């Protein structure tokens, strides 16, 4: 377990606290968790590249931590802050499908397909949208909807690339 992976793991372990803080209507606590998540996300990627610590575990932990942080945020906002259910349901369904597909390919090939630009961009837009939603709900929904479009593009390109690589391997 290298430093970058420990940072990703810490972000993963922080994610449930989003639910705790939202349930107590403690937006400051949520913002602190989001800030820590953003910081550890930035640092783990930077450290992994700089120190040559890119690993298969890191390729799993980093996006999993992002997905857990976002899923906890969406769930909490749907329950306690009237985020439109369709946004959260589509996001969580897409993530479950992507996770299932990723596990299938990992089990089959023992190799993780790294995230792509669209996925990284959608994660950034989601975090901005979640923060904005807490301040100005209507604008936040617009930003989150844009993030959802980016996320669906990421899902499509990720799936297409995974299927293409799998077909190349079987030929």
Instruction: pLDDT band for 106, please (50, 70, 90 cuts).
Output: low
Q: What is the pTM of this model?
A: 0.89
- Angstrom distances, CA of residue 74 to CA of 5, 54, 100: 25, 29, 20
- Please give the pLDDT value at position 130: 94
Q: How many whole angstroms separate alpha carbon 45 and alpha carbon 58?
A: 9
Contact indicator for 22, 77 with CB cutoff of 8 Å: yes
The count of other CB atoms within 10 Å of the CB of residue 109 is 13
Q: What is the pLDDT of residues 116-145, one digit of tens each?
A: 889 889 999 999 999 999 999 999 999 999
User: If you ran DSSP here, which 8-state letter would residue 52 be given?
Assistant: T
Three-state DSSP class for residue 90: helix
Instruction: pLDDT band for 170, please (50, 70, 90 cuts).
Output: low
pLDDT above 90: residue 36:
yes
Q: How many whole angstroms separate alpha carbon 1 and alpha carbon 57?
A: 9
Q: How many whole angstroms separate alpha carbon 39 and alpha carbon 21?
A: 19
Q: What is the pLDDT of residues 38-95, one digit of tens each?
A: 899 889 888 888 888 888 888 888 889 999 999 999 999 999 999 999 999 999 999 9
What average pLDDT does range 8-35 have in this prediction? 95
Domain 3-170, CATH: 1.20.120.1760
Contact indicator for 8, 37 with CB cutoff of 8 Å: no
């Amino acid at each position: 377990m290298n430093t970058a992976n420990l940072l990703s793991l810490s972000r993963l372990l922080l994610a449930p606290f989003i639910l705790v803080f939202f349930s107590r209507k403690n937006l400051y606590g949520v913002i602190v968790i989001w800030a820590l998540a953003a910081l550890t996300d930035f640092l783990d990627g930077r450290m992994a590249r700089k120190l040559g610590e890119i690993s298969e575990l890191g390729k799993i932990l980093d996006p999993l931590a992002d997905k857990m942080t976002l899923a906890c945020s969406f769930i909490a906002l749907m329950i306690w802050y009237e985020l439109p259910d369709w946004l959260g349901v589509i996001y969580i369904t897409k993530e479950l499908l992507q996770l299932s597909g990723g596990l299938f390919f990992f089990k089959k090939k023992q190799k993780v397909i790294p995230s792509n630009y669209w996925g990284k961009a959608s994660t950034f837009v989601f975090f901005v949208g979640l923060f904005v939603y807490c301040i100005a709900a209507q604008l936040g929904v617009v930003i989150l909807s844009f993030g959802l479009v980016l996320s669906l593009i990421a899902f499509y390109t990720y799936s297409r690339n995974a299927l293409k690589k799998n077909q190349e391997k079987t030929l």
